[in-house]
Amino acid sequence: MVERWRAMLVELRAASGTDYAMYAVANRELLDLAMSGQALTV
């Protein structure tokens, strides 16, 4: 999960211009990462 997020960050940094769809996907990935971490601590 963390590796997916790191890969997404690399893609965001490499993207030229503003691609709002990419930010939406990144936001969803970050939410998934946060939720997976929360499930482990409960």
- Say which residue, 42 or 22, is predicted with more confidence: 22
Per-residue confidence (pLDDT) for residue 41, from 0 to 100? 58
Q: Do the Cβ atoms of 26 and 8 come closer than 8 Å? A: yes
- Classify the phi-psi angles of 17: left when phi > 0, otherwise alpha if psi is within -120 to 50, otherwise beta: left
Give the three-state DSSP class for 17.
coil
- Say which residue, 38 or 7, is predicted with more confidence: 7
What's the pLDDT tens digit per position in 18-40?
778 888 888 898 888 888 877 66
H helix runs in 1-42, sequence order: 2-14, 20-41
Q: Do the Cβ atoms of 32 and 18 come closer than 8 Å? A: no
Per-residue confidence (pLDDT) for residue 40, from 0 to 100? 61
